[in-house]
């Protein structure tokens, strides 16, 4: 996401600097760890199914007919971008078409806007209600 100012209203130094989504944190100023790039490991499970991890959480992604289906977004905006880059290395020219939320916690589903802002989001109805009421910066509601 390239913007002139973050949701908090703080100006960015450059249009090339991404605004880091801060979830539900309301601390003043940047939270540098949010944008830190995380090393992602990915291994094949079977056919077009891959396992992905940043060292703590593990999820999966798979190639479907319309594109890639990813489960959850992992822990921070930087990790979500690293996850998307991993998907792109495994399935080049196949964008993340759909993200499936396992549950509403930000450490699993908080940063779809950083991972694949145009993806379809699938979530349980109750999960989606929590997400819509929370209005967390970076977490997208179900489509």
The predicted model scores a pTM of 0.79
**Contacts by 20-24 with C-beta closer than 8 Å and gap 24+?**
20/77, 20/78, 21/77, 21/110, 21/111, 21/113, 21/114, 21/137, 21/138, 21/139, 22/137, 22/138, 23/106, 23/110, 23/111, 23/136, 23/137, 23/138, 23/139, 24/106, 24/134, 24/136, 24/137
Mean of the pLDDT values across residues 61-76? 95
- Structural domains present in the chain: 37-134 (3.60.15.10)
Give the model's confidence band at 36: pLDDT under 50 very low, under 70 low, under 90 confident, else very high.
confident
pLDDT of residue 103: 92
């Amino acid at each position: 996401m390239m913007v002139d100012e973050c949701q908090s209203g703080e100006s960015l130094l450059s249009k090339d600097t991404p605004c880091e989504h801060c979830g539900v944190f309301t601390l003043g100023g940047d939270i540098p760890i949010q944008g830190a790039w995380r090393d992602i490991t990915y291994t094949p499970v079977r056919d077009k199914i891959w396992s992905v991890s940043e060292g703590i959480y593990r999820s999966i992604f798979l190639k479907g007919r319309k594109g890639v289906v990813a489960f959850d977004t992992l822990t921070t905006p930087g990790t979500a971008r690293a996850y998307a880059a991993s998907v792109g290395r495994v399935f080049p020219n196949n964008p993340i078409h759909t993200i499936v939320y396992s549950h509403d916690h930000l450490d699993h589903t908080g940063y779809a806007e950083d991972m694949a802002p145009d993806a379809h989001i699938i979530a349980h109805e109750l999960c989606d209600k929590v997400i819509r009421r929370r209005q967390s910066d970076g977490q997208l509601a179900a489509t």
